[in-house]
Amino acid sequence: MLSFFKDYKYFAIVFAFISIVIVSIIYNILDVEKPLPIYQPAQVEQELVDSTLYDVRKYHKIADFSLTNQNGKTITQDNYKDKIYVADFFFTTCQTICPIMTDHMAQIQNQILNDDVVMLLSHTVTPQIDTVAQLKRYALKKGVNDAKWNLVTGDKKQIYELARKSYLAVKTVGNGDEYDMIHTENFMLIDKKKQIRGFYDGTDPEAITQLLKDIESLKREYKK
C-alpha cells in the first residue's frame, strides 16, 4: 500500500511538471499579452519621489488638479476622465531636452488625432515664466492641437506636488526654494484609473515607438 502511494506521488510530480511545460508552450504559442505594470512610488528612483511616498507599494494614483492651459481654460482631472493620456514636464525657454521632447510629443499627437480615448498633458515647471500667453505662443509654434494636447501652468506648489507626489517625474533643485524642480526627460503613460503604467525617455525615438505600442496594449486591456 505504501509502495502504491509512493509511486502515485512520483506520478503526480511528473504529471504536474508536464502540465506546467504544456501550459507554458501553449501560452507562448498563443502569445498571450501581459498587462502593462502599474507603477508605485516604491518602484521608482527615490530622487524622483517625495520622501513621504518612499514606502508606498500600492494604490498610487494621480491626484486631482486644477491648472490653466494655453487658451486660458481651466483644466482639471475631469478633462481626462475615462481617458488614457501621456504626461510630461517641460518649460518653454528650455534649450536642451525640451525641444526634442516637444517634437516627440507632437509625433504622438499626430498618431492619436483621430483617437477619442488618448490625450496629452504637458506641465510647465516654470509657471512664473510660462504664462498663458507664453504657452499659447509656444503651442502655435509647435503645432499643438488644442483638442488633444493641453500645455498647463498654474500655482507652482501644486505643479511641484503633482510632479513629485503624483507623476514621480522631477528632481528637487535644493537651492533653498522648496518648490524648485528639475524636470526629467520622462513621459508617463496614465490609464483611465489615474495610474502610472509606464515611463519613457521622451528624447529617445525608440522609446516613443514603444510608448505608442503600449498605448495600443492599454486600449486592448480595456476591451477584455
Give the domain ranges of the chain: 1-32, 41-223
Give the model's pLDDT for residue 181: 87
pLDDT in tens, 97-131: 999 999 999 999 999 999 999 999 999 999 999 99
pLDDT in tens, 190-220: 999 999 999 999 999 999 999 999 999 999 9
Grid cell, residue 52, equals 513621504
Hey, what CATH class is 41-223 in? alpha beta
Distances from the Cα of 192 to the Cαs of 79, 81, 125, in angstroms? 12, 7, 25
Distances from the Cα of 93 to the Cαs of 49, 52, 130, 134, 139, in angstroms? 25, 31, 9, 10, 13
- Mean of per-residue pLDDT scores for the chain: 89
Give burial (CB, 10 Å; 0-12/13-18/19+) of 222. Answer: exposed
Length, in residues, of the chain: 224
Give the model's pLDDT for residue 26: 46
- What confidence tier does 17 reach under pLDDT thresholds 50, 70, 90? low
Could you tell me the pTM of the whole model?
0.84
Tell me if 94 is assigned to a ligand binding site. yes
pLDDT in tens, 57-106: 999 999 999 999 999 999 999 999 999 999 999 999 999 999 999 999 99
DSSP secondary structure letter of residue 177? -
Q: Which amino acid is at 22?
A: I
Tell me if 60 is assigned to a ligand binding site. no
Tell me if 98 is assigned to a ligand binding site. yes
d(C-alpha 169, C-alpha 154), whole Å: 17
